[in-house]
């Protein structure tokens, strides 16, 4: 016979157990379906409006219409990349058909040597095609593109030259780290083994020469191609040569994380963590964790944000969280950024924003260009970050370009 006290204890335990949540809900995971639904409706609307326009969407113009660019523009691969993400998420053959049609517009980039951004352009278009629908034809385009990019390597510097125009002599920009995955992929997939050496040399020299003592990255380092000496540092898209341009920091975190994945060189992981820690602890980072366009800019409501920097950073941090021993802090931070970007403060209302998904990005403020606008690459890294986050949160890994066969 149970005593009254025993019965009360049993009841208390039963009530306690039934009140416990089965498993803490993940608010971000729950929001991913509605964000992809919005992405689908936005991009369907944009595709209808594009009609027979043969170029690729980049941003909106002051009158709200979509600005499109030729395949040679550094942003050309992101639109097909976004269509591939919609295919990856939905599995719908219609998205695949559209993604492939826009991917094929970049076919000629396989021989492009006019600047360093071939990794962005072909990686996001043909690289996504290869991840999701492997075909020999795509591999060949990517191998050709890697060989074209490698022609920009300057052996005396150990670096890939970014641009060919004045006032620079031999400029290397931090964004260039993003192009290295094309080279590491090609080296593993029938391209010349030296492509991996080029990628590693570029990352080594960037690691050694592209950072301030506080851990932040310069945007442009201009070299003398004869002596290898640094001629000057430039602010370019940043506010001042002494201040950290927000998207440049995001490129650095992303680029060094991917090069750590590719080489397991501990200094790359350390570099990615240093830049991430610098940004995450920055006193001027707003509470929603979407940075102002430059960490040195005045922190007030009239200073433009850069949602693209937050999206790139979040995607990089999700990957970094899987590489670093103290990864949880990076995943938590990325989740906060992605929740902010998924909120009405940044997610476009249906039918608005020219059909792009995210609002409030800044392309080139000192150039008075693309300030507080949608940018196709903000959408790209946002969708990638959500897919990466879902893979981590549900323990169902997805393939990155460099692991695509
Ligand atoms: N790669 C150029 C930019 O981030 O604006």
Q: Which atom of ligand 1 is nearest to the CA of 248?
A: 4
Residue with tokens 């009254």: 4
**pLDDT at residue 17 in the model:** 43
Q: Find the CATH number of the domain harbouring 85.
A: 1.50.10.10
Handedness of CA 67, 72, 74, 77 (dihedral sign): positive
Q: How far apart are CA 368 and CA 372, in angstroms?
A: 11
Q: Which atom of ligand 1 is nearest to the CA of 363?
A: 5
pLDDT of 78 > 90? The answer is yes
Nearest protein Cα to ligand 1, atom 5: 363
Give the number of domains in the chain: 1
Per the domain annotation, does 209 fall within a domain? Answer: yes
Q: Which atom of ligand 1 is nearest to the CA of 364?
A: 5
pLDDT of 13 > 50? The answer is no
Per the domain annotation, does 137 fall within a domain? Answer: yes
pLDDT-derived band at 23, boundaries 50, 70, 90: low
pLDDT of 22 > 80? The answer is no
pTM: 0.94
Residue with tokens 């080279």: 183
| Distance between Cα 70 and ligand 1 center (Å) | 16
pLDDT of 5 > 90? The answer is no
In short, whether 247's Cβ falls inside 6 Å of ligand 1 is: yes
DSSP string, 286-351: -TTS--BSBTTS--STTSPB-HHHHHHHHHHHHHHHHHSTTTHHHHHHHHHHHHHHTSTTTBPPTT
Q: What residue numbers bound the domain in which 214 lies?
A: 25-403
Residue with tokens 């650095």: 252
Nearest protein Cα to ligand 1, atom 1: 175
pLDDT of 87 > 70? The answer is yes
**pLDDT at residue 347 in the model:** 98
| Distance between Cα 145 and ligand 1 center (Å) | 19
pLDDT-derived band at 24, boundaries 50, 70, 90: confident
pLDDT of 19 > 60? The answer is no
| Distance between Cα 171 and ligand 1 center (Å) | 14
Per the domain annotation, does 8 fall within a domain? Answer: no
Q: How many residues belong to the chain? A: 405
pLDDT of 365 > 50? The answer is yes
**High-pLDDT (> 90) share of the chain, %:** 93
Handedness of CA 313, 310, 401, 177 (dihedral sign): negative
| Distance between Cα 31 and ligand 1 center (Å) | 29
Per the domain annotation, does 363 fall within a domain? Answer: yes
**pLDDT at residue 335 in the model:** 98
Range 358-368 average pLDDT: 98
| Distance between Cα 12 and ligand 1 center (Å) | 60
- Give tens-digit pLDDT for 98-144: 999 999 999 999 999 999 999 999 999 999 999 999 999 999 999 99
Within 13 Å of residue 231, how many CA atoms lie on the same side as its CB?
15
The answer to whether 290 and 336 have CB atoms below 8 angstroms apart is no
**pLDDT at residue 357 in the model:** 99
CA 126 to chain centre: 16
Burial of 129-168, coded b for 16+ CB within 10 Å and e otherwise, reads bbbbeeeeebbebbbbbbbbbbebbeeebbbbbbbeeeeb
Range 259-277 average pLDDT: 98
Phi-psi region of 372 (alpha: psi -120 to 50; beta: other; left: phi over 0): left
Q: Which atom of ligand 1 is nearest to the CA of 251?
A: 4
Phi, then psi, of 211 in degrees rounded to 5: -125, 145
3-state DSSP assignment of residue 16 = helix
Handedness of CA 232, 74, 302, 216 (dihedral sign): negative
The answer to whether 184 and 243 have CB atoms below 8 angstroms apart is no
Give the tokens for residue 76. Answer: 């050309």
Per the domain annotation, does 131 fall within a domain? Answer: yes
> Active-site positions?
117, 175
Q: Which atom of ligand 1 is nearest to the CA of 74?
A: 1
User: Best of 121, 234, 247 to mutate for ligand 1, by most ligand atoms within 8 A of CB?
Assistant: 247
Nearest to 89 by CA among 311, 382, 345: 382
For 32-142, strand residue ranges (E) read 56-60, 66-69
The answer to whether 71 and 56 have CB atoms below 8 angstroms apart is yes
In short, whether 175's Cβ falls inside 6 Å of ligand 1 is: yes
Q: How far apart are CA 230 and CA 233, in angstroms?
A: 8
Q: How far apart are CA 301 and CA 149, in angstroms?
A: 41
Spell out the alpha helix ranges (H) of 51-117.
Answer: 78-90, 93-104
Range 46-66 average pLDDT: 96
**pLDDT at residue 15 in the model:** 44
- Give tens-digit pLDDT for 322-357: 999 999 999 999 999 999 999 999 999 999 999 999
Q: How far apart are CA 327 and CA 317, in angstroms?
A: 9
| Distance between Cα 224 and ligand 1 center (Å) | 23
In short, whether 115's Cβ falls inside 6 Å of ligand 1 is: no
User: Best of 363, 366, 381 to mutate for ligand 1, by most ligand atoms within 8 A of CB?
Assistant: 363
User: Best of 58, 69, 74 to mutate for ligand 1, by most ligand atoms within 8 A of CB?
Assistant: 74
């Amino acid at each position: 016979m149970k005593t009254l006290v025993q019965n009360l204890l049993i009841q208390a335990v039963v009530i306690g157990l039934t009140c416990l949540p089965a498993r803490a809900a993940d608010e971000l995971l729950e929001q991913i379906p509605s964000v992809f639904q919005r992405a689908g409706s936005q991009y369907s609307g944009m595709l209808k409006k594009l009609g027979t326009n043969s170029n690729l969407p980049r941003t909106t113009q002051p009158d709200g219409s979509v600005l499109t660019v030729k395949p040679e523009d550094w942003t050309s691969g992101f639109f097909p990349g976004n269509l591939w993400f919609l295919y990856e998420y939905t599995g719908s053959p219609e998205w695949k058909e559209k993604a492939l049609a826009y991917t094929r517009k970049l076919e000629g980039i396989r021989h492009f040597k006019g600047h360093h951004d071939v990794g962005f352009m072909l990686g996001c278009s043909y690289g996504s095609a290869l991840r999701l629908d492997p075909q020999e034809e795509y591999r060949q385009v990517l191998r050709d593109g890697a060989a074209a990019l490698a022609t920009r390597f300057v052996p005396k510097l150990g670096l890939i030259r970014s641009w060919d125009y004045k006032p620079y002599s031999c400029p290397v920009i931090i964004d260039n780290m993003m192009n290295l995955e094309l080279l590491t992929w090609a080296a593993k997939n029938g391209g010349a083994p030296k492509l991996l050496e080029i990628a590693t040399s570029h990352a080594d020299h960037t690691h050694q020469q592209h950072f301030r003592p506080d851990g932040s990255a310069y945007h442009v380092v201009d070299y003398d191609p004869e002596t290898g000496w640094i001629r000057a540092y430039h602010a370019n898209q940043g506010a001042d040569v002494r201040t950290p341009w927000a998207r440049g920091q995001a490129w650095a975190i992303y680029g060094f994380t991917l090069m750590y994945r590719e080489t397991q060189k501990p200094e790359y992981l350390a570099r990615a963590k240093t830049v991430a820690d610098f940004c995450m602890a920055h006193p001027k980072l707003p509470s929603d964790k979407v940075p102002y366009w430059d960490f040195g800019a005045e922190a007030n409501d009239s200073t433009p944000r850069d949602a693209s920097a937050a999206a790139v950073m979040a995607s990089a941090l999700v990957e970094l969280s899987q590489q670093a021993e103290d990864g949880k802090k990076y995943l938590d931070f990325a989740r906060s950024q992605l929740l902010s970007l998924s909120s009405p403060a940044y997610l476009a209302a249906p039918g608005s924003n020219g059909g792009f998904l995210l609002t409030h990005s800044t392309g080139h403020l000192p150039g008075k260009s693309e300030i507080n606008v949608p940018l196709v690459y903000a959408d790209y890294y946002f969708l990638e970050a959500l897919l990466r986050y879902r893979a981590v949160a549900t323990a169902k890994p997805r393939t990155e370009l460099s692991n695509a066969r």
